[in-house]
Every structure is written in C-alpha cells, then in structure tokens.
Amino acid sequence: MNSHWIDLVGSLGAVLILVAYFMATTKRWQTHSVVYQASNLCGASFLILYSFSKAAYVNLAINVVWASVAIVGLVFMAEHRRRGKKQKR
C-alpha cells in the first residue's frame, strides 16, 4: 500500500476514535450506542492496518484489543435487542 494512503488510513482511524470519545464525553452519543461502537471499531481497524504497515506491534496489539471491545459491545447490543423483540411477541 502506498505510504500516503496508509498515513491517510491511520489518520482517519485516529479521527474516528477521537470523535467517538468527544461525542461520548459531551453526551451527544451514548457509549452503548451502535454509532459509538461502530466508530471505535472502524477507527481501531484502520489503526490496525496502519500499525501493521509500520511494524508498530505494541500499537497494533492495543488496537486489536480496542476493536475487540467494540465488537463485544456490538454483539451485546444485538443480543439485548434480539431478546427484547422476542419478549414482545
């Protein structure tokens, strides 16, 4: 991947995570919202690609954990919604 593209991917990843943090801190997004978790997952995924291309393995590991937490959050929300719909029937 071209160096300029990977820098853009890394920058976008950082922006997504920082926007999610800002929006949650200012109570515009709830931390248990899909948009918050999806923003963290996308941001962490972009930073994983960036870190791998730069051989920054500590940063890569941190972002794998960050993405994993976002996935767990999304799965938890989906399961909670599924249970709620099942109980309404």
Joined tokens for residue 56: 């920054």
Q: How many CB atoms lie within 10 A of CB 71?
A: 14
How far apart, in whole angstroms, are the C-alpha atoms of residue 47 and residue 34? 20
pLDDT at residue number 1: 56
pLDDT in tens, the chain (89 residues): 578 999 999 999 999 999 999 999 999 999 999 999 999 999 999 999 999 999 999 999 999 999 999 999 999 999 998 888 777 65
